[in-house]
Structure 1
Amino acid sequence: MARTRAFDTEAAVRKAMELFWSRGYEATSVRDLTRHLGLGQGSLYAAFGDKDGLYRAALEYYRSSLAADALSSLEQGTDARAVIRAMLVERIRIAVGEGGRGCLAVNAVCERLPEDAATRRTVRDMQDASRNALAEVLGAAAARGEITTRHDPYTLAGFLVTFLNGLLVSSKITPDAPGLEPLVEVALTALD
């Protein structure tokens, strides 16, 4: 008879996400994970296959929680500039937290590529979702006359996603929100 899992898988993935986010993939050992999660190595392997499987689960959790929250904030606002500013500033605040841990997705790309095609796909899917959501908001804002129509909304969204990626890398180098936030204002001039 198969044993039932005696732990909360979602809680384990959330804790693993936090550990990977603060330490990185390479610096986090299976031993670190089992200690942090309070699981035996056999339970970890049975649930996730291996460290890579748990890492991918952590990235998916990140995408479905924090990244999804950022996208939903875009859909709720009517003033595109204010909503985009708030989203970018919030991403800075999260990235500089805990001494400059950055963004789990951007960290994953910087640390794991080109070796890990699954990580690349996951992060690319996140970026595509962000770009598409931003393009939709920007297209609607352009139709309302709130922002310029000189740029294609999809291209403008691509610029903002690229800017955000650079900003998130910078947040690891210089975890200083007051120093990074004025850059958001410069990027928003692309909407004029």
Structure 2
Amino acid sequence: MARPRGFDTDLAVERAMRLFRRQGYQATSLPQLTARLHLGSGSLYAAFGSKDGLYARALDHYCTDLVRHLAEHLRADDDIRATVRELLLVLAASDLADPEQGCLLVNAATERAGHTSTVERVRAAMAAVERVLSDALRRAQARGELDAAHDPVELARFLTTFVQGLHVMGNARADRVFLESAVAGALRALD
């Protein structure tokens, strides 16, 4: 009979996600992971198979949380411009507060572009973000807040792309004035 795990797998994935988010995949060593997760390498391999397996779980966790938080933020029938503005400014403020934290999706898309399963996970997460945004934009259009000539999917794709660019500029240490100006420009797409 297999011995029960003596650690919280979800907590281990959360801790690994934070480390990968801050350092990236390549710069995160197995000793750093085992120290951060308070696990021996044997336990890590038994639970996740490999560093890649743990990274995949961490990326899935990040993507699930990202989409859930976005959906919660956009669920209300609040004014779409105010809601999107607040969302973008919160993201910019988060990047300003801790620019080394980074966005795991941006990191995964750039650092692991040659890794097929990572690219598929990133693509699926971006599609989910696009769906959440386009649904919110369709609801806003139905309420008369968004011109009927706008294509909600096209706007959602623009905003999805803009958010990733916002994270990159945060990593590049853009200042608050720059980021707020960029957000103001992005919001004009909703006019």
TM-score when normalising by structure 1: 0.93
CA distance in 2, matches of 1:86, 1:136: 18
Q: 1:181 to 1:102 in 2, by over 3 A?
A: farther
**CA gap 1:96/1:77 in 2 versus in 1, 3 angstroms:** farther
Root-mean-square deviation over aligned CA pairs? 1.5
Contact 1:100 1:172 in 2 (8 A): yes
Which whole-Å deviations, capped at 9, do the CAs of 1:21-70 have from their partners, x for residues lacking one?
11110000111100111100000000000000000111111122234212
Is the 2:96–2:176 Cα contact (8 Å) retained in structure 1?
yes
- Mapping of 1:46-85 within 5 angstroms? 46-85=46-85
Partner residue in 1 for 2:188: 189
Q: Does 1:93 align with 2:104?
A: no
Judge which range, 84-93 or 16-25, deviates more: 84-93
Q: How high is the TM-score relative to the length of structure 2?
A: 0.94
Number of equivalenced pairs: 191
Q: Counterparts of 2:46 and 2:137 in 1: how far apart (Å)?
A: 45
SS class of match (1:26): coil
Q: Distance in 1 between matches of 2:53 and 2:82?
A: 38
CA change 1:177–1:43 in 2 (3 A) is farther
Sort the Cα spacing of 1:97 and 1:26 in 2 relative to 1 into closer, same or farther, 3 A. Answer: farther
Q: Compute the displacement of 1:178 (Å).
A: 4.3
Structure 1 stretch displaced more, 149-158 or 23-32:
149-158
Deviation sequence 1:58-95 (CA, Å, 0-9, x none): 11111222342122211124211111111112222233
Q: What is the identity percentage for the equivalent residue pairs of Structure 1 and Structure 2?
A: 45
Q: Which residue matches 2:158?
A: 159
Mapped to 2, the partners of 1:97 and 1:56 lie a distance apart of: 27
Bigger drift between 79-88 and 69-78 goes to: 69-78
Aligned to 1:106: 106
Q: Which moved more, 1:165-174 or 1:144-153?
A: 144-153
Shift of 1:179: 3.0
Q: What residue is the counterpart of 2:20 in the other structure?
A: 20
In structure 2, how many angstroms separate the alpha carbons of the residues matched to 1:188 and 1:96? 20
Poorly superposed stretches of 4+, deviation over 4 Å: none
Distance (whole Å) between structure 1 residues aligned to residue 178 and residue 59 of structure 2: 28
Alignment map for 1:109-148 (pairs within 5 Å): 109-113=109-113, 115-148=114-147
How far off its partner does 1:175 sit? Answer: 4.9
Shift, 1:151, TM fit: 2.1
The answer as to whether partners of 1:95 and 1:175 remain within 8 angstroms in 2 is no
Q: 3-state DSSP class of the match of 1:100?
A: coil
User: Which amino acid counterpart does residue 145 of structure 2 have in structure 1?
Assistant: E
